[in-house]
Structures are given as structure tokens and as C-alpha cells.
Amino acid sequence: MAPISQSNQLTLYARLRSIKSTRLKTLCITLAYCVGALLPNAISAKNNDYQPLSTDQKRALIHDHSTAFQALNERIRDPFVHQGPDGYYYLTGTTAGQFWGETVGIKLWRSRDLAEWQDMGFVWELMKDGKQSNSWHFSQPPRAARNGQVQTNPIAIWAPEIHYLNGTWWIPHSTNVRGHGLLRSTSGKPEGPYEVLAPIERTGIDSHLYQENGQTYYMWGADWLVPMNDDMTGVTGKPFRLQHDGKHPLGYEGILMLKMGEFYVHIASGRYGYEPTDSYDLYYAISKNLEGPYGKRRKALTHAGHGNLIQGPNGQWWSTAFDHPYVNQWSLWLVPVEIEVTADDVVISSPDTRFQPSQDEQNVVADLSVTGRPEAWEGHAHWIRPEKLKANK
């Protein structure tokens, strides 16, 4: 049987998943795998014949809510999606780094349905808007090149987010040389123009905003939090670190805070070489108090590191993702998410088995909460694999 293109496999898979009878649906999908019409990694973008999905294909997958897919075939890391009061979903993320990307700044896209995206262009550029305002970014010491590599961007903007709060738009962001702060739209529109506020911190990365009952909190890294003043131009009080049960950190970057029922859901990201999968993952812990303490560390999603959780047009949950074995390039993927909130717990899972943590993975996470980070990794990067660790000795 001749190989079926990735896009046609996606279409077939979505149609099979739409069969109402669970028994018949399972039988048809199994038969499709058996005859080669579907491959176990059929929804992979690494096939040589990869073609971006059509808008109709993406809408079918959104309706089906069972399979992760590439929502936008544009190069982007750390994709963050936020729904504004106008009903649009706004997307931003890292679009240039130290060694890649032509323009350093904040680029936006928007969509009504998470399937069809409109390119809004750069709403703020470091070398144009930042230079004109003599922004704080240029006072940070530039990062040195590695191994003789030629730097494309000695200073880059990392992991921007976009939020609508207090009647206007805010973009928390950090630099690749450490330091982070906010941009504020002076027009009340997502396209700006934006003014640069003073940095919140000169160290650390990955800033995030959370607001509840009129109080805004500025967060960064994996677990830092500080209240902001009323006009969000600065912070009040001293920053403090969120704590959770166990000896292992929740993550080391990509903080995200959500409220689900009575629970605060603290999310962070990391890639750990001593965990069974060489993957960039989302972890979470819950508490009934924003300041904690938080409960046990669990893996929310495999391969969805530095993603954020959003509700689609029909109210179903999705996570953004960008760095996993199924990408053709760093880009916005949407991973279907199921969230069960009870009186005692919040359980996050995915119907797409490629992103659903296995029980073995969760067991390792639980064991690490007892033992902490392995001693062999002291002084080494979190993500270094055991074979490389041995080679470096």
C-alpha cells in the first residue's frame, strides 16, 4: 500500500474519531492501523511529505478534541495564546534567539477559532522601538558567543506573553541575557503602540501575569511571585518563592498560574536528563491558597514544555506546545487537554497518547519528590542525558 500523506492521515483520523459508537470507532481505527492507512506516529510533522494542514482540517481536529496538531506553520518557541475581550485569540512567543531569527521583538497573530490565523506583524521591535526609547534591554550585558559561533542577535527577547488587564494590553517578556519586565499598550489596542516600563528584575527569565479580585501578581522563572501596585508600573513587597511538597523543584522555567474551582494550579516546565523521556514537559502542583504551600509535583503533559493552557471556542481545554518529536520546526501546536476538578484534586491529562505521561513517568516524578535531584547531576545542566554525563567525566 502506498504511503498516505500526513495531511490525509489527519483527515482520516479525525473522521474515524467522529464515529459516535465507541466500539465501532475503536474497531475502525484499529483496522486503519493494521492496513497501514494510519501509522502510530501518523500525526507527525517529520514525514518527508509534510504539508501544513488546511483550515478545515484544523477545525475538524478542534471539534474532535482528541489529537494534537500544528495550528500555525510559523517558526516560534514558547507559544502563548490569550483570548481578549474582543473574542480573538492572540498568539505571541519567541521569534528570534541568539543564533536565529531576523527581527528581535514582539510579533502577534490572532484567530477567531484557533484554526485560521492572521499575521499582525511586529508590534514592538527591539532595534527600532527599544532604541528610540533607550530601553533597559541595552543596559544588560550581551551574552558571549559560544565556540566561535557568529551571533545573529547578541540580545534577544524571550518568551513574551500577552494579557488584557485593567483596560489595556500588557506584554511580560525577558531577554536571553537575563532580566524581565513589561510593555504596556498606550492605545488600549493589542497592536500598540507599546511603551517600555522599568524592568522588574535584572536577573531571571520567563515572566507571567496573574490577576484575581483586582490584584495583579507578577511572576517569573518557575516559582517567583510578587504583588504589583494598582497601575502595574511596579511591585509592592518582597518577591517570594512558591513551595510545594517534596525535594525536587517543580520546574526551572515557564511559570503559569491558573484558578480551577477552589484550586490554584501552579505550572512550570523543564527537561530533566534523569527522567525516562528526553522531553520538555509541563509539571504542576495545586493549592487552595495562591501563596501555597502547594501539594505533590506531577507531570501534566509530556512534550508540552513552556506551553500555556487555554479554552477553545467550544470550552474545551488545549495546551500550546512547540518542542517535541512530531514538529517539522518550532511552531504552535495545540494539544487536547482534559481537566477533572473535584472537591479534593485537579487531574490534568490528554486523550492524545503521545502527550499523555505514562504511569512509569509519573512514578519517577513521585520518586524524585522523595529523593530530590540526583547527586550525579550536581554542577551539570538539568537536561544532560546519562550517556553524556558519563562521557564528560
Instruction: Clarify whether residues 30 and 178 are in a common domain.
Output: no
Q: Which of 51, 78, 93 is the last residue of a domain?
A: 51
What is the reported pLDDT for 48?
52
Residues 193 and 288 in one domain: yes
162 and 43 inside one domain? no
Contact present, 336 and 325 (Cβ < 8 Å)? no
Q: Which residues contact 235 (CB under 8 A, 6 or more apart)?
A: 200, 218, 226, 227, 228, 229
Q: Note the pLDDT of residue 112.
A: 98
Same domain, yes or no: 150 and 266 = yes
Report pLDDT for 3: 46
What's the pLDDT score for residue 5?
A: 55
What pLDDT sits at residue 147? 73
Angle, helix 55-64 to helix 6-17, in steps of 10 degrees: 30
Residues 42 and 57 in one domain: no
pLDDT 10s digits, 144-194: 777 777 788 889 999 999 999 999 999 999 999 899 999 999 999 999 999
Tell me how far apart the alpha carbons of residues 69 and 72 are, in angstroms, rounded to a whole number.
Answer: 9
Q: Do 242 and 376 have their domain in common?
A: yes
Residue 143 is predicted with a pLDDT of 77
Residues 308 and 372 in one domain: yes
**pLDDT of the residue at 152:** 84
The 3-state DSSP class for residue 224 equals strand
Domain end (from 51, 67, 84): 51
Parent domain of 278: 52-391
Angle among Cα 183, 185, 191 to the nearest 5 degrees reads 105
The stretches in the chain having pLDDT less than 70 are 1-18, 20-23, 25-50, 392-393
pLDDT tens, position by position, 90-141: 999 999 998 889 899 999 999 999 999 999 999 999 999 999 999 999 999 8
Distance of alpha carbon 225 from alpha carbon 244, whole angstroms: 14
Identify the CATH number of the domain in which residue 253 sits.
Answer: 2.115.10.20
Together in a domain, 2 and 66: no
**Number of independent structural domains in the chain:** 2
The pLDDT of residue 388 is: 86
Q: Note whether 246 and 102 are same-domain residues.
A: yes
| Whether residue 114 is found in the same domain as residue 31 | no
Do 304 and 156 belong to one domain? yes
Residue 100 has what pLDDT? 87
Does one domain contain both 312 and 326?
yes
pLDDT at res. 39:
47
